[in-house]
């Protein structure tokens, strides 16, 4: 596998590939960049910003380093499907780069670094990041101490939610990390606008988003950033009146905001045994081919 083959497999636009691989990077330069990347992500990004085309250089470097990550997947026996599903984030964030900055390349360098470090994996519809709780959670019958190992659940852009697909993904996560990393996780955690309790007033009970919420016990809400507005409308506006109304969710959310309300990011936890019970009830076990 070469970087060019990887870029083609990710279906990056031909013009973007041409620009990426026209950047002159000697083996010595690549090694220097990689050493800084592995040593200090913040310093790496600061140096990138000083480059004339930082987004393009970032993509050029990340594609090269993804080849080494691909080999690590094969060495561990992780199915190739997991690699390609996970690294579709490169394609998603390269599209977002052009939309947000008007420049070709890659944004969200820190996020995409997680893929290269093998700290984030996509299993079906959802992505998982091994972490530990940063603070105690005490809510109702839930009591978890800081330091508890958790799988942080992330939701990539894509098709609407389907409960069976969600169950299959969630049921795959525990066995995946046990099989390939000998690590056991019994709790899931999620911090997302998709867990905002306000959505219960905006969506129908059959909504896929509300089906996703039902897997979690929502214990708090974070209003530090209007993530819902960013995700639903594509950008954040100071005046909600400026938001578009092309979808039913956009119309409902805009009306809600104009009434002086706010939508935060819900914070929720889910126990593995509960998720597996739901999976059994809907006939959705671990994804076929991901867990031998």
Q: Please give the span between the terminal C-alpha atoms of the chain, in angstroms, as a whole number.
A: 24
Q: What is the pLDDT of residues 4-36, one digit of tens each?
A: 999 999 999 999 999 999 999 999 999 999 999
- DSSP 8-state symbol, 78: -
149 lies in the same domain as 290: yes
77 lies in the same domain as 132: no
71 lies in the same domain as 96: yes
Q: What is the pLDDT of residue 164?
A: 87
State the chain's mean pLDDT as an integer. Answer: 92
DSSP tally for the chain: helices H, then strands E:
13, 8
Classify residue 250: in a domain, yes or no: no
DSSP letters along 188-206, please? EEEEEGGG-GGGGGTS-TT
CATH of the domain at 281: 3.40.630.120
The tokens describing 161, both together, are 């939610």
- C-beta separation of 202 from 256 below 8 A: yes
Residue 27 three-state SS = helix
Classify residue 270 as exposed, middle or buried by CB count within 10 Å of its CB (0-12, 13-18, 19+): buried
Q: What is the pLDDT of residue 283?
A: 65
64 lies in the same domain as 114: yes
Backbone angles phi, psi at 18, to 5 degrees: -60, -45
pLDDT at 279 > cutoff 70: yes
Cβ burial 222-240 (10 Å sphere, 16+ → b, else e): eeeebbbbeebbeeeeeeb
Classify residue 82: in a domain, yes or no: yes
108 lies in the same domain as 189: no
Q: Provide the number of structural domains found in the chain.
A: 2
257 band by pLDDT with thresholds 50, 70 and 90: very high
Which range marks the domain in which residue 81 is found?
Answer: 1-119
């Amino acid at each position: 596998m070469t970087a060019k083959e990887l870029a083609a497999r990710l279906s990056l636009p031909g013009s973007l590939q041409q620009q990426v691989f026209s950047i002159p990077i000697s083996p010595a330069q690549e090694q220097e960049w990689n050493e800084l990347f592995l040593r200090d992500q913040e310093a790496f990004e600061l140096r990138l910003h000083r480059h004339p085309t930082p987004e393009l250089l970032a993509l050029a470097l990340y594609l090269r380093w993804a080849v080494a990550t691909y080999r690590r997947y094969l060495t561990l026996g992780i199915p190739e499907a997991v690699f390609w599903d996970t690294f579709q984030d490169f394609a998603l964030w390269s599209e977002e780069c052009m939309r947000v900055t008007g420049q070709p390349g890659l944004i969200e360098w820190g996020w995409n670094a997680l893929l290269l470090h093998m700290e984030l994996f996509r299993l079906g519809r959802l992505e998982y990041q091994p972490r530990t709780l940063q603070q105690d959670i005490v809510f109702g019958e839930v009591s978890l101490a800081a330091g508890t190992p958790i799988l942080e659940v992330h939701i990539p852009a894509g098709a609407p939610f389907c409960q069976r697909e969600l169950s299959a993904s969630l049921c795959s996560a525990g066995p995946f990390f046990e099989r390939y990393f000998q690590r056991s996780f019994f709790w899931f955690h999620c911090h997302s606008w998709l867990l905002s309790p306000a959505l219960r007033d905006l969506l129908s009970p059959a909504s896929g988003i509300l089906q996703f919420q039902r897997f979690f016990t929502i214990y708090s809400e974070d209003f530090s950033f209007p993530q819902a507005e960013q995700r639903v409308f594509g950008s954040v506006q100071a005046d909600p009146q400026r938001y578009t109304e092309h979808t039913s969710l956009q119309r409902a959310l805009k009306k809600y905001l104009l009434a002086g309300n706010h939508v935060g990011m819900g914070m929720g936890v889910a126990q593995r045994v509960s998720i597996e019970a739901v999976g059994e009830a809907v006939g959705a076990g671990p994804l076929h081919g991901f867990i031998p």
